Amino acid sequence: MSRQTVTPEEKVRLEEVRRLIRYHDHRYYVLDDPVISDGEYDQLFNELLILEARYPEFASVDSPSHHIGGAVAEGFTAVQHVHPMLSLDNIFSIAEFRSFQEKLQRFLHTKQPLRFMIEPKVDGLAVELVYRQGVLHAGSTRGDGLVGENITAQLKTVKAIPLRLQDDQGFTIPDELYVRGEVFLSKQGFHRLNQLRHQQGEALFANPRNAAAGSLRQLDPRITSRRPLDFFVYGVANPEVLPAEGQEALLTVLSRFGFPVSPLVKGCALPAEVEQQYQQMLAIRHTLDYEVDGLVVKVDAFALQRRLGHTARAPRWAVAWKFPATQATTIIKAVDFQVGRTGVVTPVALLAPVEIDGVVVKRATLHNQDEMARKDLRLGDSVLVQRAGDVIPEVIKVLPELRNGAEQSIEFPISCPECGHPLVRIQGEAATRCVNNHCRAQQRQRLIYFAGKSGLDLEGLGKKNVEQLVQSGLVGDIADFFFLSAGPLASLEGWGEKSARNVLAAIENRKKIPMARFLGALGIRHVGEVTAGVLAEHFSSLQGLMEADEEQFRRIDGIGEQVAASLTMFFQDPHVHRMIERLQEGGLTLLPSGNKQEQPLAGRVFLFTGSLQAMSREEAKRLVKAKGGQVAATVSERVTDVVAGEKAGGKIKKARELQLPLLSEMDFLQLVSAGEE
């Protein structure tokens, strides 16, 4: 095979890639302030590995490919790791995983399938905990793999980390144990932390990983103690001191010592099982309450791990099988100001198209006027955009260091971009809104909401179709849905007789509907599912609602001043009166709540926190609604039952303060299955 000759351009590129990786390593590991996404960093690092493999004569001992992390941050003392804290090589496809396991088999001179252990790659901060005679002696960050930062005092504030190992499980605690694991911040904890920082005028963390790292790098441990940090153990540096011959047995021992182990850890006897677990983890990643950016795959047996050994930066017996990136860098081309159904004006960034998590993203929310000002957002800015499942993409970080001077400031409008009515911002609220109830944009959004899944769920009338009906003049308010006819519908572009018949049948099927669901579908400000249920219980008819005044609404248990004012404004509007009259003329019939025998959960309001094992939380919520119950999103005195799954968040504390009944998942399952054969 002929030796490849490096071109001058490739030699320059090799040095440039090394320089860029060093710069981004410093931003990520030392400053906790990355300016590119994980996916873009992985691409850059992969390019370095390819170039160095192609031209080994340009290998360098100080190349980033031989190092793991960053330097010790200012203010912390250095800790020399007795056993290096190695990183993991990345793979990104089934083909690469198969190549990985085939390479292991060749190295071990075997054709037998290897047993692997898989675990979620939690996006946090890797730490080492040193225990002497079972007591936590020291804790440190990974650092550059050889030298980390002493954060013992900070780690002692993480409640999930045992300060003393349990010794009542029949295992002998070794004299010295080097435990490795990941400190992370839950999504709920991350959002609470950022809300607090926003209120205090502090810069927001870009993601939970940076929030966790920033929390552990507080010189004052008291600050760390106020951060809701969590921890999963994943291994030890000296497994030979424990009665375990493989990773699975090791995690069992560590669990009995008192360490939390991810419930998603699983043994796989065949490579095909690993591939299946990857797909399953990918499917549920966005439902977890913590960020997961891949799957860690490890050879289970320690004897095989020792034979396989490691390179300068990573073990040969493990890889990180990365998920598609959820973040990417792109450019803001323009900003559109959208008016919602309650009048809130939301700035939306129009982006240079970029692929994130397999989807091309062209738009991202900027949240509100305060966020735009805090980020000093400008047209032409390079920004970090994040997408997570079905959540609307958001701009989470501006990259001012990439500005070239051509960027332009963005002014938030002072009048409604749709109807021209002056915009209003109520003191104490983040939202800027149009208060003209007859604003065309609000009416259009209310129509979309009414027909959508949160409203009456009219099959065949998604957002685009509703917008088409509005643009054609067939629908102007909610009542118009009940007077549509086949001919005009069938003549619309992209429709036909069958589409028209299906939509009309869906509308006809929704003309008889429970009062609570109808009230929730109207899109009244501050009126969600629970409040709609309260109103349906209190009022026997729409006429009673329309005749009630603000004081009458206030006297209803669970209705506050804001809700009462919103209801009064809505139901005393003459346009609403005419709309309801037309709905009734079109055949609207509101059904009362079913009797208790038919609706065993009638009158009960459930709140779910934590993850369920037997079903998803969405399935549990649908089950509650099917049995006449209601579901709340926040803790309040109206909640009658709090269902606590695994890793329940801060809602539990508030529920206990209000002395609300707590149900385990088993309690809940027994409750909803009572009386069923």
Rounded CA gap, 249 and 7, in Å?
51
202 by Cβ neighbours in 10 Å (0-12 / 13-18 / 19+) ranks as exposed
Q: Name residue 181's amino acid.
A: G
Question: What residues does 241 pair with on adjacent strands?
Answer: none
Calculate ∠ Cα 300-303-309, nearest 5°: 90
Q: How many residues does the chain have?
A: 677
What distances in angstroms separate CA 129 from CA 78, 151, 161, 184, 241, one per listed residue?
A: 15, 10, 9, 15, 15
Closest to 620 (Cα-Cα) out of 642, 603, 598:
642
Burial of 637 (0-12, 13-18, 19+ CB in 10 A): exposed
Residue 487: strand, helix, or coil: helix
User: Active site residue: 11, 103, 111, 121, which one?
Assistant: 121
Closest CA to 262 of 382, 124, 108: 124
Q: Is 621 a catalytic residue?
A: no
- Neighbouring CB atoms inside 10 A of 497's CB total 12
List the one residue out of 436, 440, 462, 459 whose CA is nearest residue 449. Answer: 462
DSSP state at residue 239: G
Token code pair at residue 586: 């079109």
User: Angle at CA 381, nearest 5°, toward 377 and 386?
Assistant: 80
Residue 99 CB neighbours (<10 A): 12
Catalytic residues: 121
